[in-house]
Structure 1
């Protein structure tokens, strides 16, 4: 289908809007990770790191779209361990042991997220530094000077790859038109760029949200690992749980602010 036909086709516009909404929801995970990592840098480097990270995500996703034929082959099994999982009520195995390229990427990404989120939670639980300088009240921010810009960008690139592959495979399942997929990816990353700085500042100003966000990353890591083993958790359940948790935390924040105002 040529570009003019796409622009005048209501079905193409519907597919674009649906894909943008889906990509924005899927991009929340990536955005939270970038926000937490960038907040460990000195203040003057944080915004730059977020822009670079999201720009690299855009380049990766467009590059993967240009290699769409290869991306589809990532779903072809590479090897099978030959182990059968316990059957469910339908007689189907509860997990797969035939691993594709996509499965291996998801497993690696899930393990990386688990390691990184667990490490950040551990750092946030540590007391004041032995040198006598108190850490900032925001978990992970007090040791911002210890974070290397190059190391942060390298970690962002690694997780960008994981989320980009998952994002593109989702896009392929929604439409066959490359221009629609490219437009959706560009618009989604632009939305993420606009939201990145406010989200990072909001997380930094509310320390309890940092721990909540790290808990989300642990959950996302576990979901990626489960997906790599063929156990597919509906994304709606995940985002509903995240939304509920954020709602409860917002109520706690309102309660704390009211108590502070009353006390003063």
Structure 2
């Protein structure tokens, strides 16, 4: 069975890599905003914890769905710290089910009840996971806007939070009219913490998008030093391929294939290696 990382690799790499590399960052942002500006502007009212929870329950075991509904009813009637405790229980349930969208709304409600840096960052992180690879463009835009708002709230509480800056930077690039502000934030993070995994990975992806393959190579080499995974090796291989360094590309593709251990990705990589070997 594929694990989550392998599914992400297959979806992002095999299906979307072409689109990722041929569009500049600003173009991606403008296209998204053109199609879904109205949804982003009204994100909070268009989607709620109740609506996303009901949708998420459709894809899970009926008994688990009933358990979640029971906790939701208790949380609605609770107040203060009791409410926060019940909401945390709900967040944990959705975490176990790998459903980040309800989590985002739950942590947002927790942060509004008991404002803390941790809750706002967790809210932003969950919304960001939720909009990544989201096929519903209206929902993706709304979640992106909610992530931005959550990270901004976090930074209001702690202007030096690297986690909040990283999340806000990534969210601004993918869902605002000023992506360079997001990149500037991410650069601040890596200046303060050169081995920051999330910031380096995100900057690496943005370098790929903008055709700056030399910079992408540097970022993904750093990512791999911290935490090697199939997806990072694949992007590293693609960047090497784009600048004509075939032997390095082949080696990185082979590492990606080894770590992913997925037949679909392996077939794609084998074709890439065959082409590079000619």
Q: TM-score per shorter chain, which class?
A: under 0.3
TM-score, structure 2 as length reference: 0.26
TM-score, structure 1 as length reference: 0.27
